Structure 1
Amino acid sequence: MDLGLKDAAAVVVGGHRGMGLAAARCLAEDGARVAVVGRTREALDAAAADLADRGSPDAVGLAADVTDASAVQRVFDEIGGRWGGQLNILVNAVGPESVGTFEDLTDEQWRAAFDGGVMGMVHCVRSALPLLRKAEWARIVNFSAHSTQRQSVILPAYTAAKAAVTSISKNLSLLLAKDEIMVNVVSPGSIASEALKSWAASVGVDGEDPYALMRAIDEHFGHPAHLPRAGLPEEIGPVVAFLASRRNSYMTGANINVDGGSDFT
């Protein structure tokens, strides 16, 4: 399906790895100009080269710590100058890295979860909005998580931050409706990310085997999907690409579960 993304201007925050990179690749393969934003220069350069090979004109990796509002603004100023002051797509795929029970987490860990998981998204949307409003069409896709609907006792800070992302996104969908800028959320389930594979290794499970991963999730958390395996990052990318595209012409304020089947409502 042609998503109408040829020469569209797209920024994927966290697009240098994992699910963010999978989304960036789908945008690139449909002809979008893609900038990926992250903190690791080597990974950014590798991602930009990969995206260029997949058909993205002027693919670029831009370094910024999204918890630093001034650094984020500099990145979007550069993007505006590079692409004519307009932006069609913003994807926020960065999430906090916070594991620990409520009793174990320190104040600093709570603050870090919200700085990285919420304020990073806020900074990016705030800086991108002038560019998005100037474009003929624009979309925002934010990453939440299935844990907002199915709790885990070791992820209270992470889950709280992702719940805030979902709430803010819903508010943005209302605010920006008058501009016909559509804002949606993707909530991945148990995806074989580097973090999940690292956890699997810590409990003696082969993280490269998605079936073994799901069995371990069932054993340790009691949260199996209906499908008997974990998902793969590349299974998230097409969903994000559709939501970010011109083909999505009437969906806004939605939270889309990509979870292998669950009892979510």
Structure 2
Amino acid sequence: MDLGLRDATAVVAGGARGMGLATARCLADDGARVALIGRTRSVLDDAVADLLDRGAPEAVGLVADTGDEDRVQRVFAELGDRWNGRLNILVNAVGPTVRGSFDELSDADWRRAVDEGAMGMVHCVRAALPLLRAAEWARIVNFSAHSTQRQSVILPAYTAAKAMVTSISKNLSLLLARDEILVNVVSPGSISSEALVGWAESVGVDGTDPYALMSAIDEHFGHPAHLPRAGSPEEIGPVVAFLASRRNSYMTGANINVDGGSDFT
């Protein structure tokens, strides 16, 4: 399907690896010019090279911690100069790295989870809005998580931050409807991310085997999917790309579960 992205401009915050990179690849494959925001120059450079090797018309990597609002503002100002003051797509794929049970978490842990998982998204949307409003069409897609609907005792801070993302996104969809800027949320389930694969290996499971990984998730957390395997980042990217595209013309305020099947309503 042609998503209507040729010559569109797109920013993927957290786009240098995992689900963010998978999304950036889908956008680039359809002809979008893509900017990646990440913390590590070497990782960004590798991701940019990957996109250019795939034939992306333009790819650029910009170093920023999305929790640093001043830096985020400078990054989007630079992109505004580069792209004539217009931006079509903003994808926020940055997630909190905080893990631990409620009893283990300090106030600093909670603040870091919110800064990484929610305020970074707020900073990016705030900085991008003038560019999005100036474009002929615009979309925002934010990453939440299925753990907001299926709790885990080791992820209370992570889940709280992601729940903030979902709530803020719903409010943004209402606010920006008057500008015809569509705002949606994707909630991935058990995806073979670096973090999840690393956890599996820490409990003696081959995390690169999606069936073994799902069995471990079932055993340790009681959170199996209907499908008997974990998902891959490449199964998230196309969903986000559609939501971010011109082909999505009437869906806004939605929270899309991509989780291998669940009982969520």
By the TM > 0.5 criterion, same fold?
Answer: yes
| Deviation readout 1:90-115 (Å, 9 max, x if unpaired) | 00000001111111101110000000
The amino acid of 2:242's aligned partner reads F
The amino acid of 1:65's aligned partner reads D
Task: Give me the identity figure in percent.
Answer: 81
Once the 2 structures are TM-superposed, how far is the Cα of residue 55 of structure 1 from its aligned partner?
Answer: 2.3
Following the alignment from structure 1 to structure 2, what is the Cα–Cα distance between the partners of residues 24 and 54? 11
Once the 2 structures are TM-superposed, how far is the Cα of residue 193 of structure 1 from its aligned partner?
Answer: 0.2
Which residue of structure 2 aligns with residue 127 of structure 1? 127
Which residue of structure 2 aligns with residue 84 of structure 1? 84
1:206 correspondence with 2:206: yes
The amino acid of 1:12's aligned partner reads V
Which residue of structure 1 aligns with residue 246 of structure 2? 246
Once the 2 structures are TM-superposed, how far is the Cα of residue 58 of structure 1 from its aligned partner?
Answer: 1.9
Unaligned runs of 5+ in 2: none
Following the alignment from structure 1 to structure 2, what is the Cα–Cα distance between the partners of residues 89 and 182? 10
Following the alignment from structure 1 to structure 2, what is the Cα–Cα distance between the partners of residues 52 and 154? 39
Question: TM (normalized to structure 1)?
Answer: 0.99
Once the 2 structures are TM-superposed, how far is the Cα of residue 56 of structure 1 from its aligned partner?
Answer: 1.7
| Deviation readout 1:45-79 (Å, 9 max, x if unpaired) | 11111111222212100000111000000100010
Which residue of structure 2 aligns with residue 52 of structure 1? 52
* 3-state SS of 2:104 partner: coil
Contact 1:3 1:246 in 2 (8 A): yes
Which residue of structure 1 aligns with residue 263 of structure 2? 263
Q: How many aligned positions are there?
A: 265
1:5-154 to 2 correspondences below 5 Å: 5-154=5-154
Which residue of structure 1 aligns with residue 193 of structure 2? 193
The amino acid of 1:255's aligned partner reads N
- Hey, which bits of structure 1, 4+ residues long, moved more than 3 A? none
Following the alignment from structure 1 to structure 2, what is the Cα–Cα distance between the partners of residues 261 and 47? 30
Cα RMSD after superposing both structures: 0.4
Contact 1:30 1:55 in 2 (8 A): no
Question: TM (normalized to structure 2)?
Answer: 0.99
Following the alignment from structure 1 to structure 2, what is the Cα–Cα distance between the partners of residues 53 and 5? 18
* 3-state SS of 1:176 partner: helix
The amino acid of 1:215's aligned partner reads S
The amino acid of 2:64's aligned partner reads A
The amino acid of 2:239's aligned partner reads V
Contact 1:16 1:43 in 2 (8 A): yes
